Structure 1
Amino acid sequence: MTLFDESERRIWAGSARAYADSFAKLCAYPVERLLDVAGVGAGARVLDAGTGAGAVAVAACARGAKVSAVDAEPGMVELARQAAPAADVQVAALPELPFADGEFDAVVGNFVLNHVGRPRQALAELRRVTRPGGTVAVTIWASPPAPGQALIGRAIQAAGVQRPSDLPALAPEDDFPRTERGFADLLASAGLAEAACEALSWDHRTDLEEWWSGPASGVATIGKIVVGQTPETRAEIKRRLVDLSAEFSGPDGSLLLPHVALLAAARA
């Protein structure tokens, strides 16, 4: 396990419910397209790697698939079990999965690669558990981030807060460009065939309090940065967020936050 992996375990420990109440709706946007690209239908054996609160598992079960799902965080596993009682959900983490070679017709991972220290090794493991000719389909956030995704980070910077030096990043040899070409090349480098990638763009509809609730509760890396500040600095971050969010306000007072994700798929 890399230092990045260890950091991710600490960051997400105990955050399941706060994630479900905040960022989960955003992350669910690509789910149906992800399953379409993976060819998930009735009777398909599907693995949802990094299930989170279970959105992909729920959607795959609704299609009549035979679904297994894993997540590294026990709280997420409990939420996913409640949401998708027909799925087999268990605690497990990339790059080591408790499944046989070629066990699944399709393997999907919705944003899970954002949270692993060795993405190529993780993809190679997803390929291992996919039957020959089956599909691996995964999403990540694009970089540089779309304006909506960057909003909270802008508020943090405007408040004078810097990223803590003890938060590890991916090692240079494990990193890759978060572009369509870069993501497709990553899949190919993990031994997957016919890799292709597309960009998904959408405006996430939310409101200021919902959008603030995730980081204010310590969800994800950006949340840990927020809750690590003094009460005065947290209040300043929120004040800056209120000011910056005005450019994304809809006529009904909601926020319309532009986001871009990358969806890549390939054959095992």
Structure 2
Amino acid sequence: MTGTDGVDAAETPFDAGERLAWAGRADAFAAGFGRLCAYTVPRLLDAAGITEGTRVLDAGTGTGTAAAAACARGARVTAVDAEPDMARSAATAAPGAVVRLAALPHLPFPDGAFDAVVGNFVLNHVGRPRAALAELRRVTRPGGRIALTIWAAPPAPGQALLGRAVRAAGVPRPADLPALAPEDDFPRTERGLAELLGTAGPLTEVACSAVSWEHRTTAEEWWRGPAAGVAAIGRVVTSRGPGTVERIRRHFLDLAAEFTLPDGQLSLPHTALLASGRVDG
């Protein structure tokens, strides 16, 4: 089921920008970037120790890929997302899960409500990562596990492709697209993410490793999301009207040639970071 409670009204400018970037774009996300993000889900669930009967929270569920995979393992799944269109999509993808509308860093659950908490790239989309982590720890029972993924920085070549096309077209970042505040940012490295987990409170067995893969797609599919305004890159692409969108597209197609296989598909190298830890106490 889908609820409408729990969204934090006191969001940061970064949070507000993220909300605009994702509003109403669940289908466009699922058709492109959603397939990319699904790659890390099995390892994420393994790192969180999710098996039959596990009470699990999927934070920032998006279109529900991780929630559906956890349900398939027999877990008792609750999923939350800050964007209503994503929550509706997740409820369809994971009918066995309880899906609610809620935004980090304030979740509508009591302390220790879950055996495991997962967040597939959710930390890339919150304005206060440390506060978000502290909240995820709060709702995890003592002895329970937290597992999270983020995109690595600097990005892998495939991940950088769209940004390169934007720069080649000479399109600046829009002034109304806020970046994460410097005091809230952290190094997007194995060490940086592991140290960030340490700020959430007592965690043991903290581990972080890189996950690299080649994402297979087509130029048409990979372009469709940004052209529809999906994510921050989509807001940049669509910020200056159709003429600029077309100019970026031409640069994108030129740059995509280096990733094009003989069958015409793209093979885009991506790297994510996967971190996990056990709640002490």
TM band (smaller chain):
over 0.9
Counterpart position of 2:182: 172
Aligned mate of 1:247, from 258, 269, 278: 258
Alpha-carbon displacement from aligned partner over 1:131-164 (angstroms, at most 9, x marks no partner): 0010010000000111000001100110111111
SS at match of 2:182: coil
Aligned mate of 2:43, from 24, 33, 41: 33
Please say if residues 174 and 239 of structure 2, whose CA atoms lie closer than 8 Å, have aligned partners that are also in contact: no
Counterpart position of 1:136: 146
Please say if residues 48 and 56 of structure 1, whose CA atoms lie closer than 8 Å, have aligned partners that are also in contact: yes
Aligned mate of 1:86, from 67, 79, 96: 96
Counterpart position of 1:150: 160
Please say if residues 11 and 220 of structure 1, whose CA atoms lie closer than 8 Å, have aligned partners that are also in contact: yes
Counterpart position of 2:215: 204
Counterpart position of 1:188: 198
Counterpart position of 1:66: 76
Distance 1:233 1:105 in 2: 48
Please say if residues 59 and 80 of structure 2, whose CA atoms lie closer than 8 Å, have aligned partners that are also in contact: yes
Change (3 A) 1:52 1:192: farther
How far residue 166 of structure 1 moved from its aligned partner, in angstroms, is 2.5
SS at match of 1:29: helix
- TM-score by structure 2 length? 0.94
Aligned mate of 1:238, from 219, 228, 249: 249
SS at match of 2:104: coil
Counterpart position of 2:8: none
**Which piece of structure 1 moves more, 124-133 or 7-16?**
7-16
Please say if residues 44 and 147 of structure 2, whose CA atoms lie closer than 8 Å, have aligned partners that are also in contact: yes
| Letter matched to residue 222 of structure 1 | I
Distance 2:17 2:34 in 1: 21
**Which piece of structure 1 moves more, 165-174 or 238-247?**
165-174
Alpha-carbon displacement from aligned partner over 1:194-252 (angstroms, at most 9, x marks no partner): 32101000000000000000000000011011111222221111111111001001121
Matches within 5 A, 1:50-129: 50-129=60-139
| Letter matched to residue 233 of structure 2 | I
Distance 1:22 1:219 in 2: 10
| Letter matched to residue 266 of structure 2 | L
Please say if residues 159 and 268 of structure 2, whose CA atoms lie closer than 8 Å, have aligned partners that are also in contact: yes
How far residue 16 of structure 1 moved from its aligned partner, in angstroms, is 1.0
Matches within 5 A, 1:214-233: 214-233=225-244
Distance 2:257 2:245 in 1: 19
Distance 2:202 2:191 in 1: 15
SS at match of 1:202: strand
Please say if residues 192 and 266 of structure 1, whose CA atoms lie closer than 8 Å, have aligned partners that are also in contact: no
Identity of aligned residues (%): 67
Distance 1:151 1:24 in 2: 17
Distance 1:30 1:61 in 2: 16
Alpha-carbon displacement from aligned partner over 1:169-201 (angstroms, at most 9, x marks no partner): 111211100000000000001114132101000
Distance 2:174 2:155 in 1: 20
Aligned structure 1 segments of 4 or more residues deviating by more than 6 angstroms: none
Counterpart position of 1:49: 59
Please say if residues 34 and 263 of structure 1, whose CA atoms lie closer than 8 Å, have aligned partners that are also in contact: yes
The size of the alignment, in residue pairs, is 268
SS at match of 1:266: strand
- TM-score by structure 1 length? 0.98
| Letter matched to residue 48 of structure 2 | A
